[in-house]
């Protein structure tokens, strides 16, 4: 490397360091690769509002849904790694690498983890006509009506589908997968009795549990949920049957480390605020606020875990 090349490299590093030190000097875009009103969108908007206050620049949520969240994710990956584009994802981020053969990005290499924001259990609910009250009731029904009990799912990589497959393996049962394009249609048919059971987030199902239109069977967290009092965990019947819905924030891979550190510090402070914790708790979620390294480990563990199930059960983008 000659003198001019070395000097140019040093100037670039100096300019980058200066820009990072002044960060942020303009609005920040937070891409959500999912439709509005979902968990990722709700979480992004709560955090974005507080980040706007903390950083002194507007953090604008930009929904870019489509292709199982891969369109918005690819858009974030291709954005400048300068801290002005962020990405808020949920569970499918860890399953997409196993479902899409030709992703435009590498899930583990092309994005830099900022923080795991929230996590919480999913809920298994059934239509009252099934007569099911417990997980064991559902398993016995599925064995008595082999290949007849209908589970609503939302996409091949969704928690609803993966947890149904997990139950099939653990309980050794055969149930029917009834796929839907969105949770709204799935829940409507569950309430109407067109399908028998479904795994979904607590906020999605709880109003219908309270109204008596659905029965709560179990939650998928390690411990019982404070929101769903009295509802047992899946692991009480099947040890190790633990899964959580989650939302995390990332940035393009080469985003300067000090910017990642700043975003992580501010986000962690936000998630520790009592009113924010309470707001998510009402939805059945726990705020986390991990370090970037901890979130990286989380993504890798989730990717490996669900990848194994997807391979074993031969789940595809049907």
Give 104-113 pLDDT, tens digit per residue.
Answer: 999 999 999 9
Residues 216 and 77 in one domain: no
Helices (H), 65-194: 70-77, 92-99, 135-144, 159-171, 183-192
User: How far is the C-alpha of 226 from the C-alpha of 276, rounded, in Å?
Assistant: 16
Say which residue, 178 or 154, is predicted with more confidence. Answer: 178
Tokens 């019947």 correspond to 237
CATH number at residue 165: 3.40.190.10
Cα–Cα dist 249/258, whole Å: 16
Residue 307 lies in a domain: yes
Q: Quick one: 280 and 222 in the same domain?
A: no
Mean pLDDT score, 30-36: 94
Q: Looking at 192, 210, 236, which one is the last position of a domain?
A: 236
End-to-end CA distance of the chain: 53
The mean per-residue pLDDT over the stretch 171-195 comes to: 95
Residues 67 and 40 in one domain: yes
pLDDT at 181: 84
Asked if residue 270 is part of any domain, the answer here is yes
Give a yes or no: residue 184 inside a domain.
Answer: yes
| Structural domain range at position 92 | 3-120+244-312
Residue 74 sits in the same domain as residue 160: no
Mean pLDDT, residues 145-167: 94
In a domain, 318, yes or no: no
- Residue 169, pLDDT above cutoff 80: yes
> Mean pLDDT across the stretch 234-246?
95
Please check whether residues 157 and 306 belong to one and the same domain: no
Arithmetic mean of pLDDT over the chain = 93
CA 44, 165, 124 angle in degrees (round to 5)? Answer: 60
Q: Does any domain span residue 139?
A: yes
Question: Residue 74: pLDDT band by 50, 70, 90 thresholds?
Answer: very high
Q: Is the pLDDT of residue 10 over 60?
A: no
- Whether residues 58 and 92 share a domain: the answer is yes
- What's the pLDDT score for residue 5? 56
Torsion angle of alpha carbons 70, 75, 79, 81, nearest 10°? -20
Q: Return the pLDDT at 2.
A: 61
Mean pLDDT for 133-149 is 96
Residues 145, 102, single domain; the answer is no
Domain final position from 218, 236, 254 = 236
Residue 37 banded pLDDT, cuts 50, 70, 90: confident
92 or 8, which is more confident?
A: 92
Q: pTM for the whole thing? A: 0.88
Give 53's strand partners: none
Domain boundary among 181, 207, 236: 236
Residue 250, domain member (yes or no)? yes
Alpha carbon distances (Å) from 100 to 35, 97, 295: 19, 6, 23
Tell me: pLDDT of 81 over 60. Answer: yes
Residues 101 and 185 in one domain: no
Q: Are residues 83 and 189 in the same domain?
A: no
Of the pLDDT bands very low, low, confident and very high (cuts 50, 70, 90), residue 4 is low
Q: Once rounded to an integer, what is the mean pLDDT over residues 160-177?
A: 96
Query: What's 82's domain CATH number?
Result: 3.40.190.150
Q: Quote the pLDDT of residue 157.
A: 87
Please give the average per-residue pLDDT across 274-287, as a whole number.
95
Instruction: Kindly state the tokens that stand for 42.
Output: 């709700």
Rounded-to-integer distance, Cα 90 and Cα 86, Å: 14
List all residues 6 or more positions away from 31 whose beta carbon is below 8 Å from its beta carbon: 62, 64, 72, 73, 75, 76, 79, 85, 86, 87, 88
Cα(248)–Cα(24) distance, integer angstroms:
21
214: pLDDT strictly greater than 50: yes
Which residues does 244 contact at the CB level (< 8 Å), separation at least 6?
Answer: 119, 120, 121, 122, 220, 221
Distance CA 118, CA 285 (A): 6
CB contact at 8 A, 138 and 164: no
Tell me, yes or no, whether 151 and 68 share the same domain: no
Q: Provide the pLDDT for residue 14.
A: 46
* Domain co-membership, 12 together with 111: yes
Question: What pLDDT, on the 0 to 100 scale, is given for residue 6?
Answer: 54
In a 3-state reduction of DSSP, which class is residue 262?
helix
Verify that 126 and 115 share a domain, yes or no.
Answer: no
Q: What is the dihedral of CA 63, 68, 72, 77, to 10 degrees?
A: 150
Does some domain include residue 317? no
Within-domain flag for 131: yes
Structurally, how many domains does the chain consist of? Answer: 2
């Amino acid at each position: 490397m000659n003198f001019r090349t070395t000097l140019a490299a040093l100037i670039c590093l100096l300019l980058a360091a200066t820009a990072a030190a002044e960060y942020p000097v303009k609005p920040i875009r937070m891409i959500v690769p999912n439709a509005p009103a979902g968990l990722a969108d709700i979480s992004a908007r709560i955090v974005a509002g507080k980040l706007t206050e903390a950083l002194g620049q507007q953090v604008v949520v930009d929904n870019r849904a489509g292709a199982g969240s891969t369109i918005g994710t690819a858009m974030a990956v291709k954005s400048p790694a300068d801290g002005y584009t962020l990405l808020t994802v949920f569970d499918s981020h860890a399953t997409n690498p196993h479902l899409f053969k030709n992703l435009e990005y590498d899930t583990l290499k092309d994005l830099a983890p900022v923080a795991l924001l929230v996590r919480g259990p999913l809920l298994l609910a059934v239509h009252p006509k099934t007569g099911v009250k417990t997980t064991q009731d559902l398993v016995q029904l599925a064995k008595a009506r082999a290949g007849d009990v209908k589970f609503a799912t939302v996409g091949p990589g969704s928690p609803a589908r993966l947890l149904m497959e997990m139950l099939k393996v653990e309980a050794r049962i055969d149930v029917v997968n009834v796929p839907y394009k969105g949770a709204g249609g799935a829940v409507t048919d569950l309430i109407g009795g067109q399908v028998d059971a479904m795994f979904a987030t607590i906020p999605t199902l709880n109003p219908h549990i309270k109204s008596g239109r659905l029965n709560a069977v179990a939650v998928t967290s390690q411990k019982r949920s404070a929101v769903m009092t009295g509802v047992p965990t899946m692991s009480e019947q099947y040890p190790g049957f633990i899964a959580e819905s989650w939302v995390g924030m990332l940035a393009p891979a080469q985003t300067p480390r000090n910017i990642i550190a700043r975003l992580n510090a501010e986000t962690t402070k936000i998630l520790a605020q009592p009113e924010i914790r309470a707001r998510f708790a009402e939805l059945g979620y726990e705020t986390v606020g991990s370090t970037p390294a901890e979130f990286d480990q989380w993504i890798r563990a989730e990717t490996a875990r669900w990848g194994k199930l997807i391979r074993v059960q031969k789940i595809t983008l049907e």
